[in-house]
Amino acid sequence: DTGVSQDPRHKITKRGQNVTFRCDPISEHNRLYWYRQTLGQGPEFLTYFQNEAQLEKSRLLSDRFSAERPKGSFSTLEIQRTEQGDSAMYLCASSRTGGRDGYTFGSGTRLTVV
Amino acid sequence: AQKITQTQPGMFVQEKEAVTLDCTYDTSDPSYGLFWYKQPSSGEMIFLIYQGSYDQQNATEGRYSLNFQKARKSANLVISASQLGDSAMYFCAMSGIIQGAQKLVFGQGTRLTINP
């Protein structure tokens, strides 16, 4: 068990470009979550998968954002036509039950849009 | 809707002292879970402690304990014998168990600084 892995750790992109982030959860965790964290704030929920099914999406997730979890394993988060307001830390977390065993977070992908 | 409030933007404590980080919450769910996470400057979120709304006793994990007062809707984190390595951001979070704990809702965090 190597924990939750996120790639890349850092991404600098020009406004208008598309970016894609990857998250590899803990293998026995069937629940996967994406969060966004801006400077000085707590993480905000973006979306949630149980296995390959995307069960919940925040209204923060505009139509420029899309997330997938093919085969219920790794997940990708794509942002199209990036804007400066998309600059943030994107955190992935996985969980087995979502209860007292907790949610395990990755180290995040820090996106800077210039 | 669930809401977490952390009213202390920053706390400064001398090494080896105990520190209490405040957290209040609001929810209409009768069953929920409360979490505390530590976020060092490196960015990863480290799970510290969990309290279920129906747990009879306050949770403890090593130097961490959770002072859970259900009637006041508060879930304060107590760190005993603070260490320099405790300096970090601390987030309180809540999950709704009835909906299968679909997501965590976080507070704005408290930045804890331990002085030598």
Distance from C-alpha of B92 to C-alpha of B75, rounded to nearest angstrom: 8
* Length of chain B (residues): 116
Q: Using an 8 Å Cβ cutoff, are B18 and B77 in contact? A: no
Identity (one letter) of the amino acid at B5? T
Task: Give yes or no for A42 touching B (CB within 8 A).
Answer: yes
Looking at the predicted structure, is the pLDDT value of residue B102 above 70?
no
Task: Give yes or no for A103 touching B (CB within 8 A).
Answer: yes
Chain centre distance of CA B112: 12
Q: Using an 8 Å Cβ cutoff, are A29 and A50 in contact? A: no
What's the pLDDT at A81?
A: 97
Task: Give yes or no for B90 touching A (CB within 8 A).
Answer: no
Please tell me whether the peptide bond between B116 and the residue prior to it is cis, using omega within 30 degrees of 0. no
Instruction: Provide Rg for chain A, Cα atoms.
Output: 13
Q: Using an 8 Å Cβ cutoff, are A33 and A47 in contact? A: yes
Q: Residues A42-94: pLDDT tens digits? A: 999 999 999 999 988 888 788 999 999 998 899 999 999 999 999 999 999 99
Cα torsion angle, B105, B21, A9, A79, sign = positive
What's the pLDDT at B17?
A: 97
Give the closest-approach CA distance of B36 to chain A in angstroms: 10
Task: Compare B15 and A98 and report the one with higher pLDDT.
Answer: B15
